[in-house]
Structure 1
Amino acid sequence: MGADPEAGTDADRAVEAEAASLFGLAPVAPHRVAAYGDHRDQVVDIYLPEAEPVAPVPLVLLFHGGAWRAPYDRRHLSPFAAYLAGRGFVVASVEYRRGARDEAGEAGEAGAVDTAGAGSAAGPRAGRWPETLDDIAAAVDTVPGLARGLALPVDPARVVLAGHSAGGHAALWAAARHVLPPDCRWHLASPPPVCGVVALAPIADFTTARELRVCSDAVDQLLDGEERAPDRLPLADPAALLPTAVPTTLVQGTTDIDVPPPVAEAFAAAARRAGQPVRVVRVAEAGHFPLIDPTAPAARTVADEIAHRAH
C-alpha cells in the first residue's frame, strides 16, 4: 500500500506546532544567577518555589538541549524550569559550553532560536571536546554545595539530575562517571550523591543516534569526527557506561522525530543486559518539545517523574 501523501504533511504540521508552542513562550527570569566556574558559560539560573518551603525541598539540576550547539542556550528551558519550581522544587538550570570556538577561542554567542526545531538544526557545530563534558561534570560536582552556601532551602539527600535531548545525555552521563576508567579526567571514585536521573528524549545511546544521524550528526561533531569516535565513545556514551546503580527514568514522546524513540529504547535494552532496571515512560502522541513545554500535558508527566525520583 502506498504512503498517504497527507500523513507526512500532518506530521510536519504537528512538529511545527509543538516547536512554536515552546519557543513562543516568553523566557522567565530566574530568582538569581550563580557561577560554578570562571568561564562565562559556567553559570546556573536558580528558580525557587513560589512559597517559602517549611522544610528543605529537592534540588533539580536541569540541563537544556539543543544538540550541544551554541545558538541554543538555557533560555528556551526557562519556562519549564519555572514550572518545576512552581511544583515545589529548587531548580538550577545549568549552562555549559557548546559549539565551536571562534577566532577568539570562545563559543559563538547565543542567538535567536529557530522554531523549526532546535534539536534538528544544521549549521553550528555540535559540542566542544572536552569542555562540554568538563562543564557538565563541574556543575554536578559544584552546584549542590553552591546551593547550600547560598542558603537555598535544598535537601542535600534529594538531588535529581534531569535534562532534555542533549541535556538528557548530560544527566545520564553525569550519573555514570564512576564507571569511567580511573585515569579519565571525569572519573569519580563512587556514584555521584544524587537520588536519581530523569532524562527527557535523551541522546542516550550514541551508536543508535549515529546510525539515525540524530540532530544532523551531532554526536560525531561532539566527538570531533568519525576518526576519534572509537576512542571517545566509551567515555561519552551513556549506554556504554552501564550499570550505574543510579535510579534512572527515561521519558520519551512516541512521535518524536528529533531524537526518535529507538535511541531511548536502545539505552533501556543496554541497561537490561547490564542488569540495571530503567523506568521508561512513553508519552503517546507527543513529539520532542512537549516534554519541556509547561502548557502541554506532557510536562506534568515529567514533573511527576521527577517528584517520584526525589522521594
Structure 2
Amino acid sequence: MRWLAAILILMSENPAQAAPATVNDYMAQPQAKADARIAYGAAPAQVVELFLPKGKGPHPVVVLLHGGCFLAEYQGLPQTSRIAADLAKRGYAVWNVEYRKLGEDGAGYPGTFLDVADAVDRLRVEAPKHGLDTRRVVAVGHSAGAHLALWAASRARLPPSSALRRADPLKIRAVVSLGGIGDLKPHAGVFAGACGPSISQVAPPRTYPETSPAELLPSGAAVTMIHGEFDHVMPFDTGEAYAAKVRAAGDKAEAIEIKGVGHFDTVIPTTEAWKTVVVPAIERAFGQRR
C-alpha cells in the first residue's frame, strides 16, 4: 500500500493545487471521435462507442459507464469520450456505453439496467470483429454509472425470477468506481441529496434485492472505490463502507480518497487525479503493476 500513502501525502501537501473541477468543467470537455458506433437496441440511447488502441489485439476491454444522476440532461458519451480516448492511447479498447436515462422513453426500472446488461453482453458479438479480449474486462463507472458498473459485475447473482436477469452474463473481472454508490439501502438518500429523486425512480426501494450491488455479493469481481475529498455527491465514507462490505463477503476491495479534489476531477483526463490515481487503479485492475 506504499503507492497509496505516497499519493495521499503528495496531494495533501501540494498547496498550489487547483480548485476541484466543477460540473461545468466536466460538461464542457471537447468530444473525442470514436472508432465505431454500435447499436445494441432500437432506441436512440441504446448505443456503444468503441475506442480502439493501436495493434491487432486481442485488446483488454474497459467497459465505461458515464454518470449524470441518471438524467438525460447531463448527456453522457460526449463527456466520457475524452477519457475513453486517453485509455485507448494507453492500450485499452474502451466500450463506452450509453443507456436510457430519465427523460427518455423506457428509462428507469427495468429499462436502464437491461440496457447495461445488453450493452455489456454485446461485447461477445463484436469481439471477433474488433479484436477484443472478453476474458479481460474491467468496468469503470462514474457516479450513477459507477452504480451501474458495480451492478453489471454482480448481476450473475440475480435470481431466475428477476426482470433484470439475462442468461450467461459476461464476466467482469474488476470494477473501478469513481464517486459511485454500491449500497442503496444506507446511501441512496446521500445520492439523492445531490441528484434529487432520480435514483428512487431508477431503483425504487422495492427493487433493492435486484438493483443494489450490495445485495448481490459476492460477485467475484475486485472493487476499487475512488472518491475525492470534497465529493459532494458520494463522500469517501460511503465508498469505504461499501468496500468493507465487499471484503466481508469474500471479494477483494479497497477505498481510496484523493485529497483536494471533488466529484468530477476523476473523469477529466488532464487532471492529476486521473493521471496519478485513476489510471494506475485501472492498470492494477487488469493485473498490471504500477
Compute the TM-score of the two structures, normalised by the length of structure 1: 0.79
**1:72-221 equivalence runs, <5 A:** 72=74, 73-101=76-104, 106=105, 128-142=108-122, 144-149=123-128, 151-187=129-165, 192-212=170-190, 213-214=192-193, 215-221=195-201
Is the CA contact (8 Å cut-off) linking 2:117 and 2:169 kept in structure 1? no
Query: Alignment identity in percent?
Result: 34
Residues 249-307 of structure 1: CA deviation (Å, up to 9, x unaligned): 22221210122223212311322332323122222212111111001011122122112
Q: Does 1:307 align with 2:286?
A: no
Residues 7-54 of structure 1: CA deviation (Å, up to 9, x unaligned): xxxxxx945x433433332111212211112222110111122xx226
Compute the TM-score of the two structures, normalised by the length of structure 2: 0.84
Q: What's the RMSD between the two structures over aligned residues?
A: 2.1
Following the alignment from structure 2 to structure 1, what is the Cα–Cα distance between the partners of residues 168 and 161? 14
The structural deviation recorded for 1:75 is 1.1
The structural deviation recorded for 1:243 is 1.3
Following the alignment from structure 2 to structure 1, what is the Cα–Cα distance between the partners of residues 43 and 88? 26
Q: Does 1:272 align with 2:247?
A: yes
Following the alignment from structure 2 to structure 1, what is the Cα–Cα distance between the partners of residues 73 and 25? 19
Match of 1:43 among 47, 60, 82: 47
Residues 145-201 of structure 1: CA deviation (Å, up to 9, x unaligned): 23324x213222211111111110111001111222221133356673222111111
Following the alignment from structure 2 to structure 1, what is the Cα–Cα distance between the partners of residues 235 and 172? 27
Is the CA contact (8 Å cut-off) linking 1:64 and 1:77 kept in structure 2? yes
The 1:39/1:20 distance shift into structure 2, 3 A limit, reads: closer
Following the alignment from structure 2 to structure 1, what is the Cα–Cα distance between the partners of residues 55 and 257? 32
Task: Give the letter for the 1:62 counterpart.
Answer: L
- Secondary structure at the aligned position of 1:199 is classed as strand
- Secondary structure at the aligned position of 2:102 is classed as coil
The structural deviation recorded for 1:84 is 1.1
Following the alignment from structure 2 to structure 1, what is the Cα–Cα distance between the partners of residues 59 and 249? 32
Following the alignment from structure 1 to structure 2, what is the Cα–Cα distance between the partners of residues 40 and 310? 32
Aligned to 1:63: 65
**1:216-231 equivalence runs, <5 A:** 216-223=196-203, 228-229=204-205, 231=206
- Secondary structure at the aligned position of 2:72 is classed as coil
Is the CA contact (8 Å cut-off) linking 1:63 and 1:95 kept in structure 2? yes
The structural deviation recorded for 1:207 is 2.2
Instruction: Could you list the structure 1 runs, at least 4 aligned residues long, displaced by more than 4 angstroms after superposition.
Output: 188-191
Following the alignment from structure 1 to structure 2, what is the Cα–Cα distance between the partners of residues 284 and 146? 41
- Secondary structure at the aligned position of 2:33 is classed as coil
Is the CA contact (8 Å cut-off) linking 1:210 and 1:217 kept in structure 2? no
Aligned to 2:256: 281
Residues 39-96 of structure 1: CA deviation (Å, up to 9, x unaligned): 22110111122xx226422111100000111112221111111111111111111000
The 1:138/1:55 distance shift into structure 2, 3 A limit, reads: closer
Following the alignment from structure 1 to structure 2, what is the Cα–Cα distance between the partners of residues 188 and 222? 18
The count of corresponding residues between Structure 1 and Structure 2 is 266
Segment drifting more, 257-266 vs 64-73: 257-266
Task: Give the letter for the 1:304 counterpart.
Answer: P
Asked which structure has the greater CA Rg, the reply is 1
- Secondary structure at the aligned position of 1:163 is classed as strand
Segment drifting more, 280-289 vs 184-193: 184-193
Is the CA contact (8 Å cut-off) linking 2:19 and 2:261 kept in structure 1? no
Task: Give the letter for the 1:147 counterpart.
Answer: E
Following the alignment from structure 1 to structure 2, what is the Cα–Cα distance between the partners of residues 267 and 258? 15
- Secondary structure at the aligned position of 2:82 is classed as helix
Aligned to 1:116: none
